[in-house]
Structure formats: structure tokens, C-alpha cells
Structure 1
Amino acid sequence: MYDERLVAPMRLELTELGVEEMRSAEEVDSKLKDAKGTALVVVNSVCGCAARMARPAVAKALQNSAKPDMATTVFAGQDPEATQRARGYFTGYPPSSPQIGLLKDGKLVFMLERHDIEGRSADEIAGDITSAFDKYCDAPVSA
């Protein structure tokens, strides 16, 4: 595990966007187990591709008009029980960090693994995420 003083700013990059952090297996289950609608699940990491590509891509994607009902995150290597439990919802995919999944009614409908993130720009990754949002998430109803 890394010193929390080092990791805290990396957590903050997502939580200041309104992404809810899950730090225990119980928190993961309370958010995701019986969740209806859509849930973004970001497996955060200290690696460079999380810093340069994944977190900025999530920030850009969350500006899209269609968004998930809930956006959540776990931190690989820091909160192992929460991360393992969250990855349990990623049926058919091996552990990867960073990793970005979209659930709809508790079922995985979209996944970006580390190899989908590395070597690409944050804008390209955000495009993939927003395409998934457009396909699976409801746009807000205008008044």
C-alpha cells in the first residue's frame, strides 16, 4: 500500500467530481448489489495511465448530457476488499487497473481495461465512455 498522503489527491480527482468512493466490500454491496439503473465503476490506480488518461477521461465523460445514475470508484492497491468486491461485478473480465465499467441493473454492459486505456488520449477514452453513456444511460429530461 502507498502512503495515504500520496494517494489522497488521486482519490480527490474523482470524488470532487461527485464520484462516490467505496472503501469497503460492504460499501460496494450497499451501492451496487441491488442497484437499478446505471452505475459507473472506476477502478482507480496510482499508475501513470490512470493519472494521464483514465481519471481525466472520466472527468470529461461526466460532462456528457447522458450520465449514469450513479458514479462510483474503488482504489486498487489501497482498498483491496472493496476493489475485489467491485471487480466481482465485472463478469468475464480479469482484474485490471485502471478499469472502467458500466453496469445497468447490476449487469456489466461496458468495460475498458488497462490495455484499452494505455497509449490512448483522455479524449479518445472519454469518447468511448460517452458512447456507452449515450447507449445505456438516460439523458436528463428538459423542463
Structure 2
Amino acid sequence: MYPEEMVKPMREELSVVGFQELYTAEDVEQALAKEGTTLVVVNSVCGCAARNARPGARMSLDNAKTPTQLVTVFAGVDKDAVSKAREHMFPFPPSSPSMALFKNGELVHMLERHHIEGRPAEMIAENLKDAYNEFC
């Protein structure tokens, strides 16, 4: 587990643009039970989260259509919340960072680490925008 003071600035990169931080399995269940679309970002301390995932998630919000709610869990910190989010991402294997778009609680779009790592944030943002335009 990473110390909270270390991950605080990494959390804030998403929370300052409207992502709600989920800390427990119950938080995840409540978020995914809501009607509409929900983007779940599994945040991470790794370099591809810093370079690609978080900036891509932020850039994706510059779109006419966006998810109803934005939430995030932090791998290596929010163990129960991450486990519960990953249950909902089945059949995709656990990876972090990752991003999942849900519509009315059903998984409709998934970006795994291998879709994020080594790709520019702009490409990740475009991928998410395409999903928003289709499902939001």
C-alpha cells in the first residue's frame, strides 16, 4: 500500500476536474447502481498513469457528450474499492491504470493498461470521446 501523502497529488489530478474518489466497495456499488453513464478510472502511481491515463481522462471531458458521473479508485491504496470495480470489469483481467465506461451499471467500453501504455494522452482522450459519443 502506498502512503496517502504520496498519492494525494495523483488523486487530485482527477478530483479537480470532477472525478469523485471512491474508497470502499460500497462506494463502488452505489456509484454503479446509478442510472446513466459512469466512467471509472483505476488510477495508479505508474508512469503511464501520469503521462497517459490521467491526462487522457481529463482531455476526454472536452467533448459535447460526457458521462453522467466520473469516479476513480486508486490501485495499491483503495484495495476494496479497486477489487469491487474490477469485479464489474469482468471478463477483462485486472490492470492499472485502466478505464471503464458503464451505462446503467453495464460495462460498455474498456481501456486496459495495454491500450494506455505507450500511447499519447490525446489518443486515449479520442478513444474515450468516441465511446462517450456512442453511449452517453
Q: Quickly name the TM-score band, shorter chain normalised.
A: over 0.9
**Equivalence map 1:99-114=2 (5 Å):** 99-114=98-113
Structure 1 stretches lacking a partner, 5+ long: 138-143
- Give, in whole Å, the separation in 2 of the partners of 1:90 and 1:30: 16
- The aligned counterpart of 1:117 is 116
Structure 2 stretches lacking a partner, 5+ long: none
- The aligned counterpart of 2:18 is 18
- Give, in whole Å, the separation in 1 of the partners of 2:104 and 2:2: 34
Matched, 1:85 2:89: no
- Give, in whole Å, the separation in 1 of the partners of 2:91 and 2:119: 23
**Equivalence map 1:1-143=2 (5 Å):** 1-32=1-32, 34-137=33-136
Letter aligned with residue 95 of structure 1: P
Partner SS for 2:126: helix
- Give, in whole Å, the separation in 1 of the partners of 2:109 and 2:89: 9
TM-score (norm 2): 0.98
C-alpha RMSD of the superposition: 0.7
Equivalent pairs counted in the alignment come to 136
Deviation at 1:36, TM superposition (A): 1.2
- Give, in whole Å, the separation in 2 of the partners of 1:24 and 1:89: 14
- CA deviation profile, 1:48-101 (whole Å, cap 9, x unmatched): 000000000000001211000001000001010000001111121010000000
Rg: which structure is higher?
1
More helix by share: 2
* Structure 1 runs, 4 residues or longer, greater than 4 Å off: none
- CA deviation profile, 1:13-69 (whole Å, cap 9, x unmatched): 00001101100111111111x221100000000000000000000000012110000
